[in-house]
Structure 1
């Protein structure tokens, strides 16, 4: 049985048991209350009749004897109240003990009402008759009070066995309620212990197994349970996962051994290739030989190529200063100047205050190369490439501009979007020689400055391109 089924069966069962106990106690108390309220209603009715008859006599005295006309409304009000009580007596349930006394009581009330109305409606001059009627009404009112008290005593005498039975029944119900509550509580505790042990026990053993695995003991197995619930399924799945991990580890060991052999072969192949540092030293030797022979331009060009090669040989993950980047960019522009001669004009505007700014290695050269290859390389004359660096409002502004072919709005938008998400690299007909394109530079700046930089691209087809980097000011090589 699954854990969910256990909960759906036993928890509603406990709720039903508790509801049954509560309903039983409620119904028992309700019966006791109804008997008590019935007795109290009858007693209060007798008391109210006696009280209203006395009130009628009090206002009748003021109206008839003292001739107080203002007491007449109150007299009528109490007469109507007494009439209503008389109707309640007529509708009240009677038994063989109180049936006759209640009937006499009703007749007495009727006589009292008739006597009172006759006095109210009598002639004013007949004072002796009114006085005699008043005395008669007063005597009847006194009898009503005495009979009412007798009826109260009769009701109490009649309900005394009922009351004693109620007390006995209430005591029994209280004892039964205690037993039922104790039984339900005991069942709840037993069920809770059984359910918690069926869940927490396997989980505890599973946790111990996981701790053993975390210590590297992968040959440990979780306890196999045949309960058929979710815990048993979890243990089986856990063991299958251990088997899969061991299989993956075996495959990884074989793969690592294969990679080691491949690395050894690659190392041997690399040892057979030309050492880049040897090539750098050779270029230096050629530059000095050209200088000795008087070929100064050839010497300068060879030195620029040598310096560019040495700069590109360093690790790209090491930050550098803008001064190093500008120097490398100038070496690159010197080589391109020898290639394009007067077809291209290079302009630099450098603010010395920004030269100690820390930037990622190879930030400027890829952008300059991209401007040459895709922007102004095809121009026969009038080509302009500008590099500007300045400090503005606590930030460093780097601007690389050309007056070449420009780019479409789609490519401009895609380059800006590449800063925060991966986008396909735009195909523009030619590949960059460094392998570090514009998208690469943008992403490295985003990572280096934690998104604190901002980049602008101003371009249109046939109107050139301007790329601006706004970098947070920082100095000192990390």
Structure 2
């Protein structure tokens, strides 16, 4: 089964792959063109370097002849070495077009170096006229090198003229190709996005249509949704609910028919009762049905379903008791566990319950339905909105003359205004709880039951999490409440 989240990641990965592919292609072609430009530019720079170094050599020779010192001679030798290095670099630029001219160019550099060496030699032998003639020859060679450099650069320009034109044409073609690639990718992404969104919206539309049919009371039509993600699981669950409700309706109609045959004298009353049964399910009758379904599921081997129905039936029986009747904390823990078993079937591994309970503290008396609304509040606000779920921790401890019950969750916590409204009994709304008893009502009933206000604390961390601490006295201030409840 491919989940919706995995589909979204697939779409994101596909778009990222296309973007990276385009970036790699453009970077490759741009780098290739840039390398070609750099190669040509380096050829021109090497040729121009020969001219610059040859002039520097002649200048260093002139300085030496005017002031023949060891420092000036060392400077001249460095210039000669640089000229030889430039000569080797230019020698690597040989091709069919510049072979003859480059050979003459290399010989001219050798002649310049020889003239320089002769001038130094004659100067050392004090033959000044010969040294001056060698210097003049070196100067002419340097001028010839400048002219030859321009000639070689001109040959290079003629050689690579067609290359320049091809680069310009290639750039134009690359622009056109980029536009076509962009249009093709845009069209492909639109098609892929349409197909992708259709795979999500179509099952949702089918499920919505099925829900509208159920809202109209048409429970006979089968719910079919073609999908391979979470919506398929939702549709399957929806179909099971439809079948169960339809079976219940058929069973109620069959029972009404039998009652009508046995009590024809009370036909009008029976018809009235049937219409009432069709509009709402009697809680006691629903409890009997759940008990029957639990036994049937156990006999058929569906033990998990049987346990779940037993938990639902136990909660229903417990909720039918009068809320003003005192119960033990043991009973509250038991019905709380049944509630968590039902929610665990709904949230699976998203919901985790951790209990740390001292058995000796479970005999204290509390109002009925005290723990379940608090735990249900944690499930509603901490577990249900989170994709990863969370953990609810229930700790019951015996601390002297009181029993503490702490219910903590890892949710987003609660605002100061909300906590103040609950503790001041301003928030009395049930907030959609299954019992119809909200958090604020629990606070009010506990204070009335024990005749104390210091009975509950609510703590919310800055980084999330909510902790509800009940401090239950082991003895009540007034023992007449239970007697009044029994007489009622």
1:7, distance to aligned residue in structure 2 (A): 6.4
- Quote the Cα distance in structure 2 between the aligned partners of 1:24 and 1:455: 70
Instruction: Determine if contact 1:54/1:141 at 8 Å carries over to the other structure.
Output: yes
- Residues 51 and 11 of structure 1: CA distance in aligned 2, closer, same or farther (over 3 Å): same
Compare relative contact order (CA 8 Å, sep 6+) and give the higher one, 1 or 2.
Answer: 1
Cα displacement string for residues 182-220 of structure 1 (whole angstroms, at most 9, x for unaligned residues): 11121011110111122023324535665786xx65546
Residue equivalent to 1:253? 281
Residue in 1 that maps onto 2:315: none
Quote the residue 1:375 is aligned against.
Answer: none
RMSD of aligned Cα (Å) = 4.4
Q: Which residue does the alignment assign to 1:196?
A: 197
Contact 1:206 1:222 in 2 (8 A): no
* Maintained 8 Å contact 1:224/1:232: no
SS at match of 2:404: coil
What is residue 420 of structure 1 aligned with on the other side?
405
Following TM superposition, by how much is the alpha carbon of 1:65 offset from its aligned partner in structure 2, in angstroms? 3.1
Written as runs of structure 1 = structure 2, the 5 A alignment for 1:201-220 is 201-207=202-208, 217=216, 219=218
Deviation of 1:70 (Å): 4.9
**Structure-to-structure mapping, 1:16-415, within 5 angstroms:** 16-65=17-66, 67=68, 70-90=71-91, 92-121=92-121, 122-123=123-124, 125-207=126-208, 217=216, 219=218, 224-245=224-245, 253=281, 255-256=283-284, 413=398
Paired residue secondary structure (2:405): coil
1:80 CA drift (Å): 1.9
TM-score (norm 2): 0.50
Structure 2 CA distance for partners of 1:258 and 1:196, relative to 1, 3 Å: closer
Superposition deviation, residue 59 in structure 1: 2.1
8 Å CA contact 1:203–1:231 kept in 2: the answer is yes
**2:207 touches 2:225 (CA, 8 Å); kept in 1?**
no
Contact 1:202 1:223 (8 Å CA) reproduced: no
Provide the C-alpha distance between the structure 1 equivalents of 2:470 and 2:183, rounded to a whole number of angstroms.
73
Gaps of 5+ in 2: 253-279, 289-323, 327-363, 366-396, 408-445, 458-468, 478-488
Give the conservation status (yes or no) of the 8 Å contact 1:418–1:442.
no
Structure 2 equivalent of residue 350 of structure 1 = none
Whole-Å separation in 2 of the counterparts to 1:105 and 1:172:
39
* Unaligned residue ranges in structure 1 (runs of 5+): 261-314, 318-365, 368-411, 423-440, 458-466, 470-478
Mark the CA change 1:207 to 1:418 in structure 2 (over 3 Å): closer, same or farther. Answer: farther
Distance 1:259 1:47, change over 3 A: closer
SS of the equivalent of 1:420 reads strand
Q: Distance in 2 between matches of 1:110 and 1:445?
A: 115
Aligned counterpart in structure 2 of residue 449 of structure 1, from 454, 470, 485: 454
Counterpart contact for 1:53–1:82, Cα < 8 Å: yes
Supply the distance in 2 between the matched residues of 1:158 and 1:239 (Cα, whole angstroms).
80
